[in-house]
Amino acid sequence: MGKPAATDRPRLTPLSHSFTLDLVVGFQHRTEAGRFLKEFRERLAKFGLELHPDKTRLIEFSDGTRKGLIAYPTRKSIRRFRDRVRMLTRRSAQRKTAALIEELNPTLRGWAEYYKRAHVRTLFHKLDGWIVRRIWSHRFCRWRTRGWIQLPKAKLYAEFGLVNLISLIPSLGSHSRSRASS
């Protein structure tokens, strides 16, 4: 049996796209939120769109807290983050340390900004150390190196501008910047 003919393949129309929208709206009372949700569904229906019932929810805020809206990193998220860092810092990539850090920083900053409000101090501390070891490994082409002598953490953070995950946590930002050099 050979390959199916091109005419046997399903054809995509120009409007066969999937759109996602994350929306958070705050209200004083649950009834207001219910009315808004009903009206919003009606407006979306005019465009042929609908809200996914399993992903749409109403959350009550208690005492002004944002309970339920804080994103906690899952094991899968941490694994994907580490895989991304591994890919960027692989030893076969021929880049200078400054270029490597410049390419790595947006990934670090984006991931940390998303999860910084959760209880991640210990996780960020471990990841900071792991990232520094990955950079040493890239620079000196082996895992166990004396990189800490030639390229200390203080130099990575100050001179090269490596993003320190711990410093992005709002309650720890000012304290950890001074400790990043130690």
Specify the number of domains making up the chain: 2
If one compares 29 and 101, the residue with the highest pLDDT of the two is 101
Whether residues 39 and 126 fall in one domain = no
pLDDT band at 173 (very low <50, low <70, confident <90, very high): low
Separation CA 168–CA 163 (nearest Å): 9
Length of the chain as a residue count: 182
Angle made by CA atoms 112, 158, 137, in degrees to the nearest 5: 70
Mean of pLDDT values over 74-88: 94
Range of the domain at 150: 75-179
In a domain, 121, yes or no: yes
Whether residues 46 and 112 fall in one domain = no
User: Is the pLDDT at 14 greater than 80, yes or no?
Assistant: no
Mean of pLDDT values over 113-140: 90
Angle made by CA atoms 126, 174, 171, in degrees to the nearest 5: 70
Indicate left, alpha or beta for 30 from its phi (over 0: left) and psi (-120 to 50: alpha): alpha
Please tell me the predicted confidence (pLDDT) of residue 63.
Answer: 47
Mean of pLDDT values over 117-127: 91
User: Is the pLDDT at 71 greater than 90, yes or no?
Assistant: no
Mean of pLDDT values over 131-147: 79
Q: Closest Cα partner for 60 from 26, 102, 19?
A: 26
Whether residues 126 and 168 fall in one domain = yes
Q: Closest Cα partner for 153 from 178, 182, 174?
A: 182
Separation CA 146–CA 136 (nearest Å): 8
- Min mean pLDDT across 46-50, 55-59, 164-168 is at 55-59
Whether residues 37 and 97 fall in one domain = no
Give the largest Cα separation in the chain, rounded. Answer: 68
Whether residues 98 and 148 fall in one domain = yes
Whether residues 97 and 30 fall in one domain = no
Whether residues 58 and 93 fall in one domain = no
User: Is the pLDDT at 112 greater than 80, yes or no?
Assistant: yes
Mean of pLDDT values over 119-128: 92
User: Is the pLDDT at 180 greater than 70, yes or no?
Assistant: no
pTM reported for the whole predicted model? 0.59
User: Is the pLDDT at 148 greater than 60, yes or no?
Assistant: yes
Whether residues 89 and 29 fall in one domain = no
User: With the CA atoms of 81, 83, 89 and 94 taken in that order, what torsion angle do they form, in degrees rounded to the nearest 10?
Assistant: -130
User: Is the pLDDT at 64 greater than 50, yes or no?
Assistant: no
pLDDT band at 102 (very low <50, low <70, confident <90, very high): very high
In a domain, 54, yes or no: yes
